């Protein structure tokens, strides 16, 4: 017979030795009056006096325990145990169990191995929000759980069965934009296996992407769904689970938005997990920053950071991913639609690999201060996921000489060169890309400086000085060059493409400031001002075809001209 008070669990102090704030650790008390002689007789009671239980995780979480009490009653070796616990986060737990006690041959007391066990328990949790706070990532969870268990058999051969139900379940990875809601759960277990009878989410789309091209209304008129079911054997861990997604809004951010469909299965043991799936992107929009986020190199070691845990499950995967017809990308100056298919494989001891091709369908690439049309964009995967082969061509279209960039090689070792149709020297290619015209007469000495100047002023993160200035002013072209106001004189001229020389019956020249704005792919509006005189001009150019253009001028020279350009070598 006796009593106990003030038994504390989970007592923690701060670094300065003072106790932490809050209700404090869980403090238990107990009272007992037991007689263990020829038979077990008496009572034992354990109860909460004060405090709460605290769980360790990314954020320390309290269960909000408000009441806990357990009774053990012994009558003629028959034991009866009852339990009752309640809390704001914990919910409610109640249960009862009966068993038979006996004296062990070596002395002391034990549960009779062949004595009958009989019991049940009920757990009700109105909220599982506290589970998300235990995760390493920023995860929000919500919903309610209701579980019922029963116990039978003997201590030597116990049998437990149970049923777990969940409603209004939701899981959100806040940073990634993943949000699954409207979840339902039904799982049952017995001595041999655990059966996931139903796990279903009905998730409406909550966010519209920043881009208007994906068919949002057609795909999100009704909520997307995710269903899973399967079973696992409790002795070996051998299990098989299947899942299916239909128009599931997997990512929901204005800059990362994805609707996904597909199906697959997972096979497991207690030490391995193998995934096989076939996914299709119904629609999506991915927007990345113009420059990658800063990161530490692999050889940097941060003192005090705990190393990664043990090996865990041996994971293998074979995934097929189809990009569909409505997946758009805006990243690093590229704005395009992506098509194609990839097969991703992961095996124990080997890095993730990929085979397949991703292709661009139209789109543009902003380079050298201009919007270049993507003529060909192929990314070929035949091994490491982070080092695909590149085959990309982007041109400035609608000019007598269509010049641009060709990118080959691999991501780790790209090969970039200037290209044009018809072929011209590299300095002239760059002039057609940047200025939209051939180099001016008398600027032969400047042509050799055009390439390094473009690298210094037009290249680099953010597009360089001229692109930043033109963007801030709202122009597509901002340049100072050698020539005459109006660019192309209406006097008879001839020029051999690529020669850098012009035969002209006039002598007017000088430095010209040009500001230009492209109104569409075929219409260009520009303002030109002579820096050495009073000449100024507003010019509207309409490109009727690759060789024919219509030019209207106003200012120092008022006229409407039609030009036919014939380029040859």
Q: How far apart are the C-alpha atoms of 171 and 184, rounded to whole Å?
A: 12
Of residues 59 and 401, the one with the higher pLDDT is 401
146 CB burial (10 A radius; 0-12, 13-18, 19+): middle
Q: Is the pLDDT of residue 444 over 50?
A: no
- Through-space distance between the first and last CA atoms of the chain, rounded to whole angstroms: 111
What percent of the chain lies above the pLDDT cut of 70? Answer: 79
Residues of 525-545 as b/e, b for ≥16 C-beta within 10 angstroms? bbbbbbeeeebbbebebebee
pLDDT tens for each residue of 124-147: 988 888 787 777 567 888 999 999
Residues of 172-185 as b/e, b for ≥16 C-beta within 10 angstroms? bbeeebbbbbbbbb
CA atoms within 13 A on the CB side of 373: 12
Specify whether the CB–CB gap between 134 and 61 falls below 8 A: yes
Q: How far apart are the C-alpha atoms of 491 and 104, rounded to whole Å?
A: 118
The average pLDDT across 533-556 equals 85
pLDDT tens for each residue of 269-306: 888 899 999 999 999 999 876 666 677 777 888 886 66
Closest Cα to residue 164, out of 200, 127, 198?
Answer: 198
pLDDT at position 328:
93
Q: Which residues pair with 393 in a beta bridge?
A: 376, 406
The average pLDDT across 257-264 equals 94
Q: How far apart are the C-alpha atoms of 141 and 138, rounded to whole Å?
A: 10
Q: Is the pLDDT of residue 405 over 50?
A: yes
pLDDT at position 36:
87
Of residues 73 and 250, the one with the higher pLDDT is 73
pLDDT at position 294:
72
Report which listed range, 45-49, 488-492, 527-531, is most confident. Answer: 45-49
Q: Which residues pair with 44 in a beta bridge?
A: 32, 72
pLDDT tens for each residue of 55-73: 765 566 777 888 999 999 9
Cα–chain center distance at 391:
26
Q: Is the pLDDT of residue 469 over 70?
A: no
Tell me the pTM: 0.67
Which residues fall within 8 angstroms of residue 53, CB to CB, at 6 or more apart? 9, 10, 26, 62, 63, 65, 90
pLDDT at position 465:
45
pLDDT tens for each residue of 326-378: 999 988 778 899 999 999 999 887 888 999 999 999 888 876 667 889 999 99
């Amino acid at each position: 017979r006796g009593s106990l008070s003030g038994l504390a669990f989970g007592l923690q102090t701060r670094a300065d030795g003072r106790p932490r704030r809050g209700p404090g650790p869980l403090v238990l008390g107990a009272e007992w009056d037991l007689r263990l002689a020829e038979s077990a007789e008496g009572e034992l009671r354990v109860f909460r006096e004060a405090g709460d239980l605290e769980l360790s995780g990314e954020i320390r979480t309290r269960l909000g325990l408000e009441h806990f009490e357990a009774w053990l009653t012994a009558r003629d070796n028959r034991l009866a145990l009852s339990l009752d616990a309640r809390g704001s986060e914990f919910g409610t737990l109640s249960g009862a169990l009966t068993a038979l006690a006996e004296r062990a041959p070596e002395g002391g007391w034990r549960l009779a191995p062949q004595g009958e066990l009989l019991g049940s328990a009920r757990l009700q949790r109105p909220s599982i929000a506290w589970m998300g706070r235990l995760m390493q990532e920023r995860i929000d969870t919500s919903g309610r759980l209701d579980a019922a268990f029963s116990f039978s058999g003997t201590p030597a051969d116990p049998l437990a069965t149970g049923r777990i139900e969940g409603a209004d379940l939701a899981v959100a990875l806040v940073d990634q934009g993943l949000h699954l809601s409207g979840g339902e759960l039904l799982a049952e277990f017995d001595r041999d296996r655990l059966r996931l009878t139903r796990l279903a989410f009905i998730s409406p789309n909550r966010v519209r992407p920043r881009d208007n091209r994906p068919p949002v209304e057609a795909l999100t008129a009704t909520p997307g769904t995710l269903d899973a079911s399967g079973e696992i054997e409790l002795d070996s861990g051998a299990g098989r689970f299947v899942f299916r997604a239909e128009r599931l809004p997997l990512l929901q951010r204005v800059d990362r938005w994805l609707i996904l469909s597909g199906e697959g299965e997972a096979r497991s043991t207690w030490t391995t997990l193998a995934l096989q799936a076939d996914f299709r992107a119904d629609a999506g929009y991915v927007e990345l920053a113009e420059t990658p986020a800063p990161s530490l190199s692999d050889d940097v070691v941060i003192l005090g950071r705990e190393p990664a845990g043990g090996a865990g499950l041996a994971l293998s995967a074979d995934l097929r991913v189809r990009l569909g017809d409505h997946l758009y990308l805006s990243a690093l100056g590229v704005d395009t639609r992506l098509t194609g298919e990839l097969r991703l494989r992961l095996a124990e001891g080997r890095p993730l690999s990929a085979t397949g091709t991703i292709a661009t369908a139209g789109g543009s690439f902003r380079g050298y201060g201009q919007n270049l049309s993507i003529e060909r964009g192929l990314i070929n995967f035949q091994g490491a996921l982070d080092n695909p082969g590149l085959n990309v061509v982007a041109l400035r279209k609608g000019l007598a000489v269509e010049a641009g960039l060709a990118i080959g090689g691999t991501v780790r070792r790209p090969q970039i060169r200037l290209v044009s149709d018809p072929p011209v020297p590299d300095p002239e290619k760059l002039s057609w890309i940047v200025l939209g015209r051939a180099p001016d007469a008398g600027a032969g000495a400047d042509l050799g400086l055009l390439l390094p100047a473009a690298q210094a002023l037009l290249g680099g993160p953010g597009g360089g000085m001229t692109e930043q200035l033109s963007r801030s002013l709202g122009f597509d072209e901002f340049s100072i060059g050698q020539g005459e106001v109006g660019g192309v004189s209406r006097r008879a001229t001839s020029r051999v493409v690529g020669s850098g020389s012009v035969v002209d019956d006039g002598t007017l020249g000088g430095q010209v400031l040009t500001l230009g704005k492209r109104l569409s792919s075929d219409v260009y509006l520009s303002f030109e001002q002579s820096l050495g005189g009073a000449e100024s001009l507003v010019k509207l150019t309409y490109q009727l075809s690759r060789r024919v253009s219509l030019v209207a001028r106003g200012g120092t020279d008022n006229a409407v001209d039609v030009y036919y350009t014939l380029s040859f070598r």
